[in-house]
Amino acid sequence: MLTALAQGALVGIGFAIAGLPSAIVFGVLSAFLALLPVLGAGLIWGPATLYLAATGAWGWALFMLLWGAGVSVSDNLLRPLLISHHTPVSTLAVFIGVIGGVSAFGAIGVILGPVLLTTMGALLRFVEESLVKQTQRTVPPT
């Protein structure tokens, strides 16, 4: 939800900078659409870029294209940061989990990747602790 709100705010700011009408409305709409796993906010800034290009505002169209690409990439940067604040996993591990999850499972991998990575880490720590306890029981104290 937080990444969708951030994307919506960024799209609204981009619309306002480019001088497009109803920046707030399109920002809110893109926040809702940012919840979609694949296209999301691109469904708003993409047509805006095409509109600017069609009206001959090539500079603003290029700006909107670059701004929109930045908005779409921000999701991949913000999500791991936000997830890592709520879990005992490093940001790098969550980022790798998101990227690996998307490549392995598709759009649902954004959620499954970090969850599976965290679960595997917890299982490995459990096995390690169990082996240490078992070793301590079998080795007599000296």
Domain ranges for the chain, please list them: 1-75, 87-142
Inter-residue contact 34 to 4 (CB < 8 Å) = yes
Q: What is the pLDDT of residue 63?
A: 93
Which tokens hold the place of 35? 């919840």
Residues 6+ apart with CB under 8 A from 66: none
Q: What percent of the chain has pLDDT over 70?
A: 86
Burial class for 40, CB neighbours closer than 10 Å (0-12, 13-18, 19+):
buried
Q: Which residue has the higher pLDDT, 55 or 90?
A: 55
Flag whether pLDDT at 89 surpasses 70: no
pLDDT at res. 41: 83
Gap between the Cα atoms of 132 and 67, Å rounded: 52
- Residue 48 pLDDT > 70: yes
Confidence of residue 86 (pLDDT cuts 50, 70, 90): low
The per-residue pLDDT for 72 is: 80
Contact call for residues 101 and 111 (beta carbons, < 8 A) = yes
**Average pLDDT of the chain?**
82
Q: What pLDDT score was predicted for residue 88? A: 66
- Does residue 137 or residue 140 have the better pLDDT? 137
What's the confidence (pLDDT) of residue 141?
63
The model's pLDDT over 56-85, given as tens digits with 9 standing for 90+, comes to 989 999 999 998 888 887 776 776 666 666
